[in-house]
Amino acid sequence: MTARQGAPGVEPPDFDALFVAHARRITRLAALLGAADPEDLAQEAFCRLYGARGRLDGSPERTVAYLNRIVVNEVRSRARRDSTARRSAHLLLVPQSTPDAGGDRQAVIAELTRLPQRQREALVLRFWLDLSLADVADAMGVRLGTAKSQVSRGLAALALALADEEQS
Amino acid sequence: MSIEERLTRALAAEAETIDVDVEELRARTRQRLTAAGVPAGAPARPARGPLLLGMAASVALAASAVVFLSTEGRMNPATDSDPGGVESAFSCPVQRDIDVTSGAQDEFLPQLGPGGPAAVAREHGAPRWDFVEDGNRATLRLGNDDGSLGSITTYRAVDDGWVPVSAVACGGAGNSPAVPTRDELRLGVHGYPPHESTISAERADGASVFVDDRAAYDHAGLVTSHRSTWVAPCGARLCWQAGEATGYVAASLRANVPTIAQDVSSLLFDPDDMVGRHNPFGMWAVWDPDGTVRALRAVLEGGRVRESQVFTDPSWGGGVLHVVVAPRAATRWVETETTSREVARWAPEEVTGYEPDTGE
């Protein structure tokens, strides 16, 4: 049981501060991972974090990592529960921006949503959250080698899809 | 521009388009926690060495519900109102009481040892768990990956820890291990990618053909595994294997009596999951290597009929497997019909079971 106690000298994170600091990022992460209702998922993630507070080690870094993992798992769970493909639902709400920049963004994001979910997770965690590969693996609940391979395959598939689109 | 750079820019731009009202989100989260049974404004309970204390206080939610650790290595008292990663109510068809006090069973013994509730969860393969103390009592909830509740065990405090008092675990309808699934009488995939066939190429005289995959509640009320069934001809028999890559049950059907159905119901669930429980399904099969059988049916109460599903492969040399699944209690008889229209009927209890595979 002692393993579940906070590490000496680590200030207990403040949930309110944690919420304010991460709510926007967590909601956006959920959206980029394909959640049909990112705000609902973010609420659920914070509720689960709140429920799990007793088994966290008190380190803010680990708490944030745990929150990331909750989001990844919850997006997967909801996708399993709802077989209707809604991975790109939030994209319908994306407003148009400047044609050139927006065009490339939309093309990249559109191809991203067509990737297998694990590759999409790996790319979003690596290139949006800027996580290390070890942290990507942690958030995805996979081994480091698997995370590396998902990033690599995802990038290759994305590059290929974009090249095909540009040629057509 | 490299693909990494394009992706980074696209993700950053895309994220900026997703507007989030943090205050509104916080209010809704607070409502959700309150709805989950966390009383707002409850007085804080003193605790030594609390984790995330500020978290609870600043959200003004349920300080009394917080599960804190004390320096004594035991959790401090708390009320059972934790919103947690495990749901507080069962969503499975039935819940069964498990005797955890008399020693009469050893399939589910959630004993709290030095490893605490985490060790119990690990032992039973529970992806999620919640442990809440309330004075001299405590509750351990084990849950599935999606947060659904698998079992609740209650404990009472003794001098050196906790002893289980009672346990309730999930089960399928009629105290069966069957996890509800759509179209449960249909063979095929039921929610999980099947495990690969474990029938060895050395034994098989043709390709392995997939028959069914379904999950079951284990003795902890969790859905931690699913089992796949495959068939392939092997010598004069039809070999069956059901299970996972790391463990399976093998069986075989004789081919010299093609018009006699055989009961293979037990292949639907792991034998361990069936101890003391009820299989709600009957699964009957006929292995027809030479095209003698025209139909296999289960005739139910009221004259309803379930026809078999047929499995074959070009490599089987014309052999065909007929399999039918029906609710066992409602099945009046099982019948085969040959190509010459001869019908043979058996009451379900008269149909013999499959033969254990001796490797002969």
Q: What is the pLDDT of residues A60-107, one digit of tens each?
A: 788 888 899 999 988 887 776 654 333 333 332 233 333 344 578 889
Give chain B positions within 8 Å (CB) of A43: 25, 28-29, 32
Kindly give, in sequence order, each residue whose CB lies less than 8 Å from that of residue B240, ignoring residues fewer than 6 positions away.
B211, B229, B230, B231, B250, B251, B252, B253, B264, B267, B354, B357
Give the distance from residue A36's alpha carbon to the nearest chain B alpha carbon, in angstroms.
13
**Which pLDDT band, with edges at 50, 70 and 90, does B6 fall under?**
very high
What per-residue confidence (pLDDT) applies to B116?
A: 84
What per-residue confidence (pLDDT) applies to B107?
A: 80
DSSP class of residue B189 equals: B
What's A7-84's CATH class?
Answer: mainly alpha
B29–A47: do the CB atoms touch at under 8 Å? yes
Nearest CA in chain B to A15: B55
CA distances for B122 relative to A74, A124, B110, B142, angstroms? 21, 30, 11, 10
Token pair, residue B273, equals: 């999951």
A54–B131: do the CB atoms touch at under 8 Å? yes
What per-residue confidence (pLDDT) applies to A144?
A: 86
Secondary structure of residue A61 in the 3-state scheme? helix
**Window from A133-147, B39-53, B173-187, B298-312 with minimum mean pLDDT:** B39-53
CATH topology of domain A97-168: Arc Repressor Mutant, subunit A (1.10.10)
Instruction: Determine the Cα–Cα distance for residues B316 and B252; give it in Å rounded to an integer.
Output: 15
Give the distance from residue A65's alpha carbon to the nearest chain B alpha carbon, in angstroms.
15
Kindly give, in sequence order, each residue whose CB lies less than 8 Å from that of residue B18, ignoring residues fewer than 6 positions away.
A27, A28, A31, A38, A90
pLDDT at B28 over 90: no
Instruction: Determine the Cα–Cα distance for residues A31 and A44; give it in Å rounded to an integer.
Output: 14
Secondary structure of residue B229 in the 3-state scheme? strand
DSSP class of residue B248 equals: E
pLDDT at B140 over 90: yes
Q: Quick one: which H or E segment has residue B3?
A: helix B3-16
Looking at residue B13, its amino acid is A
**Which pLDDT band, with edges at 50, 70 and 90, does B18 fall under?**
confident
Q: What is the pLDDT of residues B252-298, one digit of tens each?
A: 787 656 577 888 888 898 877 877 788 899 999 999 988 899 999 99
Instruction: Determine the Cα–Cα distance for residues B114 and A1; give it in Å rounded to an integer.
Output: 7
Instruction: Determine the Cα–Cα distance for residues B214 and B191; give it in Å rounded to an integer.
Output: 7
Angle, helix A133-140 to helix A144-167, in steps of 10 degrees: 100
Q: Which of residues 4-33 of A touch B (CB under 8 A)?
A: 4-6, 12-20, 23-24, 27-28, 31-32
pLDDT at B138 over 80: yes
Which residue do the tokens 């405590």 mark? Answer: B138
Nearest CA in chain A to B27: A43
Which residue do the tokens 């709802």 mark? Answer: A82
Q: What is the pLDDT of residues B48-87, one digit of tens each?
A: 222 232 332 222 222 222 222 222 222 122 222 233 589 8
A28–B15: do the CB atoms touch at under 8 Å? yes
pLDDT at B222 over 70: yes
Residues of chain B with pLDDT > 70, as a percent, come to 83
Instruction: Determine the Cα–Cα distance for residues B122 and B142; give it in Å rounded to an integer.
Output: 10
Which residue do the tokens 């463990």 mark? Answer: B247
Domain ranges of chain A: 7-84, 97-168
Q: What's the distance, Cα to Cα, between the start and end of chain B in Å?
A: 65
Nearest Cβ partner of B146 from A1, A81, A104?
A81
Secondary structure of residue B322 in the 3-state scheme? strand
Give the distance from residue B298's alpha carbon to the nearest chain A alpha carbon, in angstroms.
32
Token pair, residue B112, equals: 């709290």
What per-residue confidence (pLDDT) applies to B7?
A: 94
Residues of chain B with pLDDT > 90, as a percent, come to 41
What per-residue confidence (pLDDT) applies to B81?
A: 26
Q: Are B156 and B140 in contact (CB under 8 A)?
A: no
Give the distance from residue A165's alpha carbon to the nearest chain B alpha carbon, in angstroms.
14
